[in-house]
Structure 1
Amino acid sequence: MFKFKMPLLLMASWLLFTNPLLASPNELQAVGTSQVKAFFARIYEATLKTPDGRYQANRYPLALEIRYQRYIAKEMLLNVTDQQWRHLGVPAPERQQWLTQLQKLWPNAVQAGDTLTLYVDAKRGNRFYYNGKPLGGVNHARFGEQFLAIWLSPKTSRPDIRQQLITPRKPT
């Protein structure tokens, strides 16, 4: 009986460490980075990550990591997120459903140095991480795509940021 357990353990280990559905943001490679400013003040730095360090629309898994450079209250984060979804034409019922879930997930505020990362897996499931610790996800099939659209959609309000995120970094 023991000789059958070893191959199963090896197979389970292989799936756990090589399956892209189970990957984490830490296993992805940076594509591009953008410094986001408002009135010359640094707000955050965003980094887009994919398995191979190259962006292709609608290819998952991927992660967007936001490293904050100043204090921002949760209500401000939610308001700005809602504004961006309005700009993209996301219907009000979806926006309200998602904002209600984000209200429960996100921390009360972010400080300089904090990171908030959205990871979307190959099946488009999503989960947030706050300073590397899992917070949970939003239970809706389109959420991950629509949250990322704030930065990655061709219709984004900040095409300059989009371009910096999807353009691969030059090797140093």
Structure 2
Amino acid sequence: MDTQRRTLLAALATAPLAVQANLAPPPEVGSELPGARLLGSGRLTFLGLHVYDARLWTADEFAADRFDRHALALELQYGRTLYGRLIAERSLEEMKRQGGFSEEQGERWLASMKQTFPDVNKGDRITGVQRPGESTRIFVNGSLRGELRDAEFTRRFFGIWLAPQTSEPRLRQSLLGPALARS
């Protein structure tokens, strides 16, 4: 990604939604979800450190209370270096917040995420595309990295950010704000 786009995206992460609504989706979102628009964005910090900026891309008919039934894309642009295996482990921990699943499922999901999630550096983007009831497609800096074909995984993975049980309710509000008001 070029420096101009990174600078623009960083500035837009804190811009009013009216300004963000005019932002064009990244190429992978445009090809996977034609007509998708930015619904909301927010920043995740931990102990004051910038972890990533998140942007949620959806179609106009998106409903927050049924997020798992809509095609959507969640774009994360990292603010620091992180190891892929740690991203996978933390993702599984967050998925557990939505209720139990079998140990076998968890082990299978963790192995798939460890294989799919790369180490990231500041400025890298991971975009997850939800194909409801079907799969999660993972793009890294615009290139397809893998697809996890498991409907339950897909629902729980995007639930990390979008389910009411999220550990980051303010980020959820920033991503879903306009859609929460309609729900």
Q: Does the pair score TM above 0.5?
A: yes
RMSD, matched Cα: 2.2
Q: Which has the larger radius of gyration?
A: 1
Contact 1:34-1:165 within 8 A present in 2 as well: yes
Contact 2:39-2:56 within 8 A present in 1 as well: yes
C-alpha deviations, 1:95-150, integer Å up to 9, x for none? 2111111111122x100110101101255332100001001211212121110011
**In structure 1, distance between residues paired with 2:167 and 2:92:** 13
Return the match for 2:72 from 62, 74, 77: 62
Structure 1 range deviating more: 160-169 or 96-105: 160-169
TM-score norm. by structure 1 comes to 0.77
**In structure 2, distance between residues paired with 1:85 and 1:45:** 20
Matched, 1:161 2:174: no
Contact 1:128-1:134 within 8 A present in 2 as well: yes
For 1:30, the equivalent position in structure 2 comes to: 38
After TM superposition, give the deviation of residue 168 of structure 1 in Å: 3.3
Contact 1:60-1:124 within 8 A present in 2 as well: no
Code of the residue aligned with 1:61 in structure 2: it is A
Percent of aligned pairs with the same residue? 27
**In structure 1, distance between residues paired with 2:106 and 2:56:** 23
After TM superposition, give the deviation of residue 69 of structure 1 in Å: 0.5
**In structure 2, distance between residues paired with 1:139 and 1:59:** 15
Gaps of 5+ in 1: 1-21
**In structure 2, distance between residues paired with 1:119 and 1:73:** 21
* 1:6-155 correspondence runs (5 A): 24-25=32-33, 27-52=35-60, 54-56=62-64, 57=66, 58-91=68-101, 92-107=103-118, 109-122=119-132, 124-155=134-165
After TM superposition, give the deviation of residue 27 of structure 1 in Å: 4.6
After TM superposition, give the deviation of residue 23 of structure 1 in Å: 5.0
TM-score norm. by structure 2 comes to 0.72
